[in-house]
């Protein structure tokens, strides 16, 4: 199957928005070729604004655009959006709940060769801790494009996490995306894998392997980490009795933490988190990094087997 990065889907979605929504403006901080906002610039240069290498300015300017009635998409790498501009996002965008969409690309370890300085593995944690913020992490290009189009319709701040590396599509064009609604991709009764982003594909493969060993694993895609779909998580906990979460993000504060918060409030069951183990990454090819930092389908599979032993 042809693979494509979710940032490519962002470029495609922006081209559609250029034609369909005259209120959309796009801002970038000198990374338009990488973030794919250049696709918008090509078809709609009059509504494209480069702010230079100045991420605080990127978010502040987008906030002003939103105050003036625009749907402002602001893009840079996730490290510099969620990281460097955190406080501007918190105070100037989210506090007054402005209509700014932060489409942050190059998230996670799979930035690859640029190394730890560019690998945002804390962004979900940072963004979901801010009141009023919606946090979306699409699994494939179909989902990414639909999520961006939905985010443009939604009124309020949204953080959309996009990747550099190409990923396989798990959905087809008939897929209907709804903000805040988890998706059960595979039925199962022994354990549930709750995944987000490119770990969804790996979770589906892990579930196929588990089936060969007679283990029935449910797979849920949580594309919206905030507001999170509590119902689908609680139902999975009740019906399968064990959860493994999988994310290309630190195990601190991301999807795993969000799921734990839901379960500790409502239905505690044994849970294992597959994610980056509170360490920085390094340079390397995306697949090498995922292997070294324990983000493979085999890691998910092993955690499923481990957690099943802990079930009451």
Partner 1 sequence: MNYEDLTLITHKMRENILNMIHTANSGHPGGSLSAVEIVTYLYFKEMNIENPTDENRDRFILSKGHAAPVLYSALMEKGFLDKGLIGTLRQIDSKLQGHPDMKKVPGVEASTGSLGQGLAISNGIALANKYDNKSNRVFVLLGDGEIQEGMVWEAAMLSSHYKLDNLTAILDHNGLQIDGKNEDVMKVEPLDKKWEAFGWHVIKADGHDFNSLEKAFEERKTIKDKPVIIIAETVKGKGVSFMEDKAGWHGKAPNADELDIALKEVGGDK
**Binding interface with partner 1 (CB under 8 A):** 25, 46-47, 49, 51-52, 54, 56-57, 59-70, 72, 87-88, 91-92, 95-97
Active site residue 55: yes
Q: Name the catalytic one among 39, 55, 145, 303.
A: 55
Strands annotated E in the chain: 3-5, 24-28, 48-50, 71-77, 100-105, 134-136, 158-161, 166-168, 183-186, 191-195, 217-221, 224-226, 243-250, 271-276
CB 25, min distance to partner 1, A? 7
Distances in Å between the Cα of 173 and the Cα atoms of 21, 150, 170, 191 are 21, 15, 10, 29
Residue 102: count other Cβ atoms within 10 Å of its Cβ: 29
CB 64, min distance to partner 1, A? 2
Pick 96 or 268: Cβ nearer partner 1: 96
Q: How far is residue 24's CA from residue 177's CA, in Å, rounded to a whole number? A: 20
Order of strands across the sheet that contains 191-195: 183-186, 217-221, 191-195, 243-250, 271-276
CB 81, min distance to partner 1, A? 15
Which SS3 state, helix, strand or coil, does residue 161 take?
strand
Going by C-beta distance under 8 Å and a sequence separation of 6 or more, which residues neighbour residue 186? 204, 207, 217, 218, 219
Pick 84 or 218: Cβ nearer partner 1: 84
Decide if 76 contacts 35 (C-beta within 8 A).
yes
Q: How far is residue 37's CA from residue 42's CA, in Å, rounded to a whole number? A: 9
Which SS3 state, helix, strand or coil, does residue 36 take?
coil
CB 55, min distance to partner 1, A? 9
Pick 34 or 97: Cβ nearer partner 1: 97
Pick 72 or 308: Cβ nearer partner 1: 72
CB 68, min distance to partner 1, A? 3
CB 46, min distance to partner 1, A? 7
Pick 4 or 101: Cβ nearer partner 1: 101
3-state secondary structure 204-272: HHHHHHHHHCCCCEEEEECCEEECCCHHHHHHHHHHHCCEEEEEEEECCCCHHHHHHHHHHHHCCCCEE
Pick 1 or 68: Cβ nearer partner 1: 68
* Residues classed as catalytic: 55
């Amino acid at each position: 199957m042809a693979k494509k990065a979710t940032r490519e889907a962002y470029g495609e979605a922006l081209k559609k928005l250029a034609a369909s929504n005259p209120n959309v403006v796009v801002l970038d901080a000198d990374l338009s070729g990488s973030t794919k906002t250049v696709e918008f610039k090509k078809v709609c240069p009059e509504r494209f604004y480069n702010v230079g290498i100045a991420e605080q300015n990127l978010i502040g300017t987008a906030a002003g655009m939103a105050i003036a009635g625009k749907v402002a998409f602001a893009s840079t790498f996730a490290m510099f959006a969620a990281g460097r501009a955190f406080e501007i996002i918190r105070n100037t965008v989210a506090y007054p709940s402005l209509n700014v969409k932060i489409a942050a690309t190059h998230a996670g370890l799979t930035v690859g060769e640029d190394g730890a300085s560019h690998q945002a593995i804390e962004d979900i944690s940072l963004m979901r801790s801010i009141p009023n913020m919606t946090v979306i992490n699409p699994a494939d290009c179909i989902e990414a494009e639909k999520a961006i189009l939905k985010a443009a319709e939604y009124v309020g701040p949204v953080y959309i996490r996009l990747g550099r590396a190409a990923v396989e599509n798990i959905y087809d064009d008939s897929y209907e995306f709804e903000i805040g609604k988890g998706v059960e991709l595979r039925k199962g009764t022994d354990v549930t894998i709750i995944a987000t982003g490119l770990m969804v594909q790996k979770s589906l493969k892990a579930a196929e392997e588990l089936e060969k060993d007679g283990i029935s694993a449910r797979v849920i895609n949580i594309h919206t980490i905030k507001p999170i779909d509590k119902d689908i998580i609680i139902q999975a906990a009740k019906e399968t009795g064990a959860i493994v979460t999988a994310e290309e993000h630190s195990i601190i504060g991301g999807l795993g933490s969000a799921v734990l918060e839901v379960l500790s409030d409502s239905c505690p069951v044994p849970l294992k988190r597959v994610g980056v183990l509170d360490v920085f990454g390094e340079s390397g090819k995306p697949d090498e990094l995922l292997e070294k930092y324990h983000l493979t389908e085999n890691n998910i599979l092993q955690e499923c087997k481990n957690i099943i032993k802990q079930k009451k």
